Amino acid sequence: MIAVVLVGGEGTRLRPLTLDEPKPVLPIGGVPFMSLLLDRLAAAGVTRVILSCGYLPDRLRAGIGTPPPGLEVEVVVEDEPLGTAGAIRFAAAGRVDGPFLALNGDVLGDADFGALVAAHRAAGAVASIGLTPVDDPTRFGVVVHDEQGIVERFVEKPPNADGLGPAPWWVNAGAYVLEPSVLDMIPGDCMVSIEREVFPQLVGNGLICVRSEGYWRDIGTLESFLTANADAVAGRVHTRLQGSEEAVLIDPSATVSEEAVLVGPVLIAADAVVGARAALGPDVVIGPGATVAPDATIRGSVLLAGAQVAAHATVERSAIGRNALVGERASVSGSALGTDHAAGAGEALVGERRPG
């Protein structure tokens, strides 16, 4: 089985973290997100992955690391964004000769891709969409369907829930199985959206869907990126980290003061340093080589590689970018600092993006 993974987006909602690092290689539980996705694809029996990208392709290549054994990864680069359908066509045309998986490259989940493929084959479908239940349909593609899983309507980002039935709403989870014939419906060399232009045309013409209740999260906003990190460490989603609700996972090469107070789930990656009386957790990831000075407090936050939090500083519900600095007694809440940026000593940041 071949999988095309869409990773061309600029990750605008995750800026400034995505200004110099594409969303798919940002760390979840200290591991590039794409590595976790490749684990899942290999486990589902996928042997070849085509990454369809356009934004920062070199950083993407560098960030993926070594794929799992038996999985071949090819990076295909668009000159200009072609939209979700255009990108699938560009990546898959000439490379597939049977049904293939197509995935949004920003979803952390548990759903069984093999089950989606099996349902697609059993139904003799043209296209099959994996679904997940949500409470707010306006940020997703809502899939109205009957009891057999036949799709009746596909509504991308409806302005409200009017006419869409009661909660929870079943939405496009960003995982499809497509027959190669779908590629013929997509015009070449222009922007085409699979959600707005292709799926509506396929309604009544072989479009089915499969529900899944497992863990599912789009990591595309600051809040969901932080939650996904916490969930991975807490073991709420099945990954190679094998975390648990109280997990305090410390890499053997990290240096953690005996006087630090750690409340799981917490992960401290390779070569990180945590000083005396620092209070970490719950829901904290300290990235590789990051340092937390004595008496600092960190909750619900992620420090990327080499970030530094100085003494008596407080960081809450925030992401601190690579080699970024939170100065002494600074307080950072609901904010994100980009690579090499700083919150000055004593400064208070609330809901800020720097650079914004």
Is 82 among the residues that bind ligand GDD (CB under 6 A)? yes
Is 114 among the residues that bind ligand GDD (CB under 6 A)? no
Of 25-33, 74-82, 109-117, 342-350, the window that binds ligand GDD (rule: CB under 6 A) is 74-82
Q: How many residues bind Mg ion (CB under 5 A)?
A: 3
Q: How many residues bind ligand GDD (CB under 6 A)?
A: 26
Residue 221 contacts residue 136 (beta carbons within 8 Å) = no
**134-163 b/e with 16+ CB inside 10 Å = b?**
beebeebbbbbbeeebebeebbbebeeeee
What does 28-51 look like in DSSP terms, one character per residue?
Answer: ETTEEHHHHHHHHHHHTT--EEEE
Among 86, 220, 287, 327, binds Mg ion (CB under 5 A): 220
- Minimum gap (Å) between residue 215 Cβ and Mg ion: 16
Partner whose footprint covers residue 231, from Mg ion, ligand GDD, none (CB < 5 to 8 Å by kind): none
Of 29-37, 101-109, 255-263, 269-277, the window that binds ligand GDD (rule: CB under 6 A) is 101-109
Rounded-to-integer distance, Cα 191 and Cα 91, Å: 14
Where do runs of H (alpha helix) occur along 55-170?
Answer: 57-64, 83-92, 113-123
Q: To 5 degrees, how large is the angle CA 73–CA 77–CA 80?
A: 155
For residues 149-178, which are near ligand GDD according to CB under 6 A? 156, 171-172, 174
Closest CA to 142 of 128, 160, 125: 160
Q: Which long-range contacts (CB under 8 A, 24 or more apart) does 235-241 make?
A: 235/265, 237/108, 237/109, 237/110, 238/110, 239/28, 239/29, 239/31, 239/36, 239/39, 240/31, 240/36, 240/39, 241/29, 241/30, 241/31, 241/267
Is 295 among the residues that bind Mg ion (CB under 5 A)? no
Which residue lies nearer to ligand GDD by CB, 21 or 106?
Answer: 106
Which residue lies nearer to Mg ion by CB, 23 or 236?
Answer: 23
Is 104 among the residues that bind ligand GDD (CB under 6 A)? yes
Write out the H or E segment, with its range, that includes residue 222.
helix 222-234
Closest CA to 227 of 280, 265, 171: 265
Is 281 among the residues that bind ligand GDD (CB under 6 A)? no
Phi-psi region of 256 (alpha: psi -120 to 50; beta: other; left: phi over 0): beta
Is 106 among the residues that bind Mg ion (CB under 5 A)? yes
Is 197 among the residues that bind ligand GDD (CB under 6 A)? no
Which residue lies nearer to Mg ion by CB, 109 or 327?
Answer: 109
Position with the least CB separation from ligand GDD: 8
Of 65-73, 154-162, 203-211, 220-228, the window that binds Mg ion (rule: CB under 5 A) is 220-228
Partner whose footprint covers residue 78, from Mg ion, ligand GDD, none (CB < 5 to 8 Å by kind): ligand GDD
Q: Report the SS3 class of residue 284.
A: strand
For residues 203-262, which are near ligand GDD according to CB under 6 A? 218, 220
Residue 254 contacts residue 269 (beta carbons within 8 Å) = yes
Which residue lies nearer to ligand GDD by CB, 52 or 301?
Answer: 52
Which residues here bind ligand GDD, judged by CB under 6 A?
6-9, 52-54, 78, 81-84, 87, 104-107, 140-141, 156, 171-172, 174, 195, 218, 220
Which residues here bind Mg ion, judged by CB under 5 A?
106, 218, 220
